[in-house]
């Protein structure tokens, strides 16, 4: 079972910092078939249901030219997740491991990332397959899949840098 808000045997929670260091804008809302964390997919699948990324104004202006890409990287805010568990027990068996060796939603910065297949765009709404998140999840960003994107800006010195500097 995925986590709701419990702390399980073997897990370690830490006090959260008093303040945050940077702020996010929610640029839209994700619509999926899943309204219960206990029924969400653990990971998205390319043949999964079509979901909608509903962009808010004025951010929807940024969708221009997006249909050039068959796959997109989507970032979203896992708004129901606790952030304080550095060691977690995904199997609830007392064995815990570090949060950074897991793709659990419960992380210091609960940002989900998925690679999705673009179905179509209708105005400010992007239809995609491959998501795994709850209905109503806040959208943070979308960008072309790194494997499909070639930078348009002119080359820079660092582009050609390999190995280790002496």
Could you say which residues in the range 92-151 bind a second copy, by CB under 8 A?
A: 96-104, 107-109, 111, 113, 115, 132, 138, 140-144, 146, 149, 151
Examine residue 10 and tell whether it contacts a second copy (CB under 8 A). no
The residues with which 144 forms a beta bridge, in sequence order, are 72
Shortest separation between residue 44's beta carbon and a second copy, angstroms: 9
Min dist CB 94 to a second copy, Å, is: 13
Judge whether 93 and 117 are in contact, CB under 8 Å.
Answer: no
Tokens encoding 46: 């390319």
Q: Is 49 an interacting residue with respect to a second copy (CB under 8 A)? A: yes
Cα–Cα distance, 131 to 54 (Å, whole number): 14
Cβ closest to a second copy, residue 30 vs residue 48:
48
Binding to a second copy (CB under 8 A): which residues in 57-86? 58-59, 61-66, 68-69, 72-73, 75, 77, 79, 83, 86
Instruction: Give me Rg for the CA atoms of the chain.
Output: 18
The answer to whether residue 33 forms part of the interface with a second copy (CB under 8 A) is: yes
What is the sign, positive or negative, of the torsion defined by CA atoms of 131, 132, 136, 140?
negative
Among 4, 9, 42, 120, binds a second copy (CB under 8 A): 42
Q: Give me the residues paired with residue 85 across strands.
A: 13
Minimum gap (Å) between residue 9 Cβ and a second copy: 15
Question: Which strand (E) or helix (H) includes residue 30?
Answer: strand 28-31
CA–CA dist 53, 74 (Å, integer) = 9
Whole-number minimum distance, CB 26 to a second copy, in Å? 4
């Amino acid at each position: 079972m995925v986590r709701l808000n419990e702390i399980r045997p073997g897990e370690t929670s830490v006090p959260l910092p008093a303040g945050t260091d940077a702020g996010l804008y929610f640029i839209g809302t994700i619509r999926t078939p899943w309204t219960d964390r206990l029924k969400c997919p653990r990971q998205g699948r390319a043949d999964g249901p079509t979901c909608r990324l509903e962009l808010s104004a004025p951010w929807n202006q940024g969708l221009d030219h997006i249909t050039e890409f068959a796959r997109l990287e989507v970032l979203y805010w896992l708004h129901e997740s606790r952030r304080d568990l550095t060691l977690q027990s995904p199997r609830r068996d007392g064995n815990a491991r570090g949060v950074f060796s897991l793709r659990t939603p419960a992380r210091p910065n609960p940002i989900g990332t998925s690679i999705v297949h673009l179905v179509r765009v209708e105005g400010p709404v992007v239809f995609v397959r491959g998501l795994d998140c709850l209905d109503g999840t806040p959208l943070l960003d979308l960008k072309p899949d790194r494997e499909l994107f070639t930078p348009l800006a002119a080359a820079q010195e660092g582009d050609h840098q390999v190995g280790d500097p002496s």
